[in-house]
Structure 1
Amino acid sequence: MTLDASPADGRAPERLVTPTFGLIVVAALGYFTALGMLLPVLPRYVEDTLGGGGVAVGVAVGAFAVSAALIRPAVGRLGDRLGRRPLAVVGGAVAAASIAGYGLVASLPVLVAFRLVTGLGEAAFFVGVATAAQDLSPDDRRGEAASFFSISIYGGLAIGPFLGETLYRSGGAGRVWLVATILATFGSLVALLIPAHLGRAPAESRPSDVVEGPESDGDGDRPRRRILHPAAVMPGTILLLGLIGFAAFSSFLALHLDDLGIDDAGPYFLLYGISVLVVRIFGARIPDRFGAGRTTTVSLLSVAAGMAVIAAVDAPGAIFAGTLIFSVGMSLLFPALFGLAINTAPAAERSHAVGTFSLFFDLSQGLGAPVLGLFVDLAGTDRAAFVVAGLVALVGLIMARVRLPRLVRVSA
């Protein structure tokens, strides 16, 4: 069973929010709620049950992003051949199965192994649903489409942590793993309704995945295969630098609050998710109206400022304020850079560009969380993660001011 998607000639419909678009958002909401449930629970599980320190927390939280990063480009190219539905359905199922295994053995290596499998499912599911949403949007509304689609991501990040905290307190980590498994399975099943033909290119028009020109693989005959899509590399790099802040927030906020005697991180994650949702819904046109350059500048400044407040002030009200400032930056950074990457890439290579762009999200979590954990262990305080993340966001701001203007002109 499927619903109608784009017209038969492949043109995106002029209306952005269609029934199929809504189904994609619903599937993603179930899946990202499952992932959101893990945010406040995994660090506590590693520290309290498995006896791990800052590096162990960072490795367990970020492991899924490492495996996702390794296969993301290949998954992107696969999506341009097979279409979006297989990626979303299989990816959601793999993620669900791996989450079910988290509590089978109370061992850090086993948990990390299952997290790596979660990353494989994450890579496929995200590329499938995110690209499908872009396939259904008009060319001049890419940023708006990314904002509306990301309602599912940040809706999950608003509902999930609060639900995860509640279940953790009432039934322990095992109950969290069970409910998260059910929700990820729900996302996979709803993804079955994505039209099979969506994004699946005819054989004669499929991209070659090679770089044209004089470069070769060494034998002088065949061109070198292209792993990363060039349209997404610079936007993705800037995204990575900004998202180190999210690695700090997701991995170390709950532990930082515990150190301050605040034993419930749920309201802070809920404020983050709701704030992002509000900005994404009511400010959906901001990236398209003000441009990627200005939007990215404001985003990175907000990320740096939010991290500084969380690190510097211990009062609950101040941490709420820092979370709110930080969430404004997170709400605008992704759609601004995502729309830029999509508009710069050819339509037949869109999934490849999405795969490359989202790879940098994986790197921000897979590398960012363990590196931040190292700074936490060296400094002896969780607030070190927020200080480092704020400084990295400022580096991203400098890069954005230097490199984005040319990309904006190319995509216009």
Structure 2
Amino acid sequence: MRRRPDTLFTPAFVALTVSDLAYCTATGALLGVTPFFVTGPLDGGPAAVGVAVGASGVTTLVLRPLAGRWADRHGRRPLLVGGASLLAVLVLGHLLVTDLAWLVVLRLLLGAAEALYVVAGFAALADLAPAGRAGEALSYNSLALYVGIAVGPVVGQALLGSGGFAAVWAGGAVLLAVAALLAARVPETLEPVSGPSAAPPLLHPAVLLPGIGLLAGVAVVGGFTAFAPLHAARIGLDAWSTVLGLFGLVVVVCRTVFATLPDRVPPLRLAAAALGASAAGLTLVAAVPSAEGLLAGTASLAVGTAFLTPAVFAAVFSRVPPSQRGSAAGTASVFIDLGLGGGPLLLGLVASAGGIPAAFLTAAGLAAGGAVLLASRPVAGARPDPRELR
């Protein structure tokens, strides 16, 4: 059976990471421009913006587990290349949109294509990582997400100003075509299984408990990023954008400098500590209504965020055989989607009833609960048969 190389930065790993960067940049551009498209040419209101932007999340949530099973049965490469190619076509299809209904249809299809690309990418990333370095691989690869989401809206605004919405759709399609071309340079990473094997589970049981911790961490970050700018303005921090800028900077620095940490310590213990840092930061933000308290708490939350996802995925991928990594990635992605959608909703309800500091305290309690749950698990756990590992 083919052995994985000991080197992480192989041509395939670099191609996959740069492909993710192109995809995330295009996604960031669409995220920033789509609300203006809805309220401008389509003459919609805030509710229409919510429907259009949120439509893709519906199909993404539903199809991620199915995409994971498909990736384990038929390979990662078809979903990577096909998902990115379909995304490029669908973004270009925005040129033909003249009403909200058609935009919603396109956004639903975009969510399906995203599910294919992202789940296959996670599985391929774990396949490409040298043995015991899945957390490090994710730490470096995830930089593409943060850079792309930061740069994408800037690219979208520049294209909108120079050539209107048509330039944004065309530019996004080009970026996604680049993502597809780079994905095509990633060889098939799924190893054939000799003999009969059970079908990969639709929702992988090895992910369920770590996934709850991941859900808690993602939910509190989603809620924090939604309300931190408002909180900053209310306590007199005029440069509210520095809060999110600091958050992103700390995450990038931690994931770069400490990229190997999730593979050198028990990953669920690291994930529990990360949630503890998030809880401490959110408590500080709520308890100290000042710029200093907000910035210090943001830094602590960012440290927790930096380590949580790599640690959870390192724990998950160390406990599933290679033939089930797609299923595991699809299941973990469901928890991410639930956190991103549910966090702002939950904290929004709390903020409406008791104020933004109360929402941050609720988020701190959620993170602390996740930390206790993960810390209560034994360090040792079942691991895949070594004969299945490359």
TM-score with structure 1 setting the length: 0.78
Alpha carbons 1:76, 1:353 under 8 Å: kept? yes
Query: Unaligned 5+ residue runs, structure 1?
Result: 1-8, 211-225
Q: Is the 8 A contact 1:98 1:118 kept in 2?
A: yes
Residue 369 (structure 2) pairs with residue 395 (structure 1): yes
Cα deviation, residue 181, structure 1: 3.9
Q: Kindly state the Cα deviation for residue 201 of structure 1 after the two structures are TM-superposed.
A: 2.5
The one of 140, 154, 173 equivalent to 1:148 is: 140
Partners of 1:174 and 1:262 lie apart in 2 by 37
- 1:241 aligned partner, one-letter code: A
1:136 to 103, 107, 128: 128
Which stretch shows the higher mean deviation, 17-26 or 145-154?
145-154
Matched, 1:410 2:385: no
1:76 correspondence with 2:48 = no
Pairing 1:289–2:264 present: yes
Residue among 335, 344, 356 paired with 2:310: 335
Which segment drifts farther, 171-180 or 90-99? 171-180
Q: Structure 1 residue 171: deviation in Å?
A: 7.7
Paired residues for 1:156-305 under 5 Å: 156-164=148-156, 179-195=171-187, 197-199=188-190, 201=192, 204-205=194-195, 207-209=197-199, 226-253=201-228, 267-305=242-280
Amino acid at match of 1:348: S
Query: CA offsets per residue over residues 315-371 of structure 1, 9 Å max, x none?
Result: 566544443322211110011010111111112212211111222112212333444
The residue that corresponds to 2:10 in the other structure is 18
- Provide the C-alpha distance between the structure 1 equivalents of 2:26 and 2:357, rounded to a whole number of angstroms: 27
Q: Tell me how far 1:169 sits from its aligned partner.
A: 7.8
Once the two structures are TM-superposed, the CA of residue 24 in structure 1 deviates from its matched residue by 0.7
Given that 1:344 and 1:411 are in contact with CA atoms closer than 8 Å, whether structure 2 keeps it comes out as yes
In 2, Cα distance between equivalents of 1:247 and 1:30: 23
Q: What's the counterpart of residue 349 of structure 1?
A: 324
Measure, in 1, the Cα distance between the counterparts of 2:80 and 2:28: 18
User: Which amino acid is 2:262 matched to?
Assistant: P
CA distance in 1, matches of 2:366, 2:35: 22
1:6 maps to which residue? Answer: none
The whole-number CA distance in structure 1 between the counterparts of 2:252 and 2:102 is 35
Distance in 2 of aligned mates of 1:411 and 1:289 = 16
Partners of 1:81 and 1:200 within 8 A in 2: no
Asked if the contact 1:207–1:349 (Cα under 8 Å) also holds between the matched residues in 2, the reply is no
Q: Which residue type is aligned with residue 208 of structure 1?
A: A
Q: Is the 8 A contact 1:287 1:335 kept in 2?
A: yes
SS in 2 for 1:139: coil
Mapped to 2, the partners of 1:159 and 1:90 lie a distance apart of: 25
Cα distance in 1 for partners of 2:24, 2:304 equals 20
Give the root-mean-square deviation of aligned CA atoms.
3.7
Q: CA deviation at 1:242?
A: 0.9
Query: What whole-Å deviation, never above 9, does each CA across 1:175-212 have from its counterpart, x for those lacking one?
Result: 655544432332122111111x321526x5574326xx
CA contact (8 A) 1:162 1:269 kept: no
Aligned-residue offset at 1:159:
2.9
Alpha carbons of 1:180 and 1:252: their partners in 2 closer, same or farther (altered >3 Å)?
Answer: farther
Counterparts of 1:275 and 1:71, CA distance in 2: 32
1:258-302 C-alpha deviation (Å, 9 max, x unpaired)? 778988776544433332221111101111222213311221122
Q: By how many angstroms is 1:42 displaced? A: 6.0
Q: Report sequence identity in percent.
A: 37
Cα distance per residue 1:124-165 (max 9 Å; x no partner): 111222211211222222221221222222232343355456
- Residue 58 (structure 2) pairs with residue 85 (structure 1): no
Counterparts in 2 of 1:201 and 1:393: CA distance versus 1, 3 Å = same
Contact 2:275 / 2:368 at 8 angstroms: preserved in 1? Answer: yes
Partner of 2:387: none
* Distance in 2, Cα, partners of 1:181 & 1:163: 13
Would you say the 8 A contact 2:91–2:169 is kept in 1?
yes
SS of residue matched to 1:410: coil
CA change 1:209–1:385 in 2 (3 A) is: farther
- Larger mean CA deviation between 255-264 and 56-65 belongs to 255-264
Distance 1:398 1:227 in 2: 27
Conserved 8 A contact 2:319-2:381: no
Check whether the contact 2:210–2:268 (CA below 8 A) recurs between aligned residues: no
C-alpha distance in structure 2 between counterparts of 1:98 and 1:136, whole Å: 29
Q: Distance in 2 between matches of 1:272 and 1:345?
A: 32
TM-score normalised according to structure 2 size: 0.81
Alignment partners' CA distance in 1, 2:277 and 2:38: 30
Cα deviation 1:82-129 (Å, max 9, x = unaligned): 22111112222333444456694574x665544433321221111222
Secondary structure (helix, strand or coil) at the match of 2:133 reads helix
Q: Which residue matches 1:52?
A: 46
Other structure's SS at 1:16 match: coil
Q: Distance in 1 between matches of 2:158 and 2:296?
A: 23
CA contact (8 A) 1:72 1:358 kept: yes
Higher mean C-alpha deviation, range 96-105 or range 228-237:
96-105
Contact 1:67 1:117 in 2 (8 A): yes
User: Structure 1, residues 60-88: CA drift from partner, whole Å, max 9, x if none?
Assistant: 55543332121111111111222211111
| Structure 1 counterpart of 2:313, one-letter code | F
1:88 is paired with a residue whose SS is: helix
Cα distance in 2, alignment partners of residues 165 and 326 from structure 1: 29
Rounded to whole Å, the distance in 1 between the matches of 2:160 and 2:282 is 27
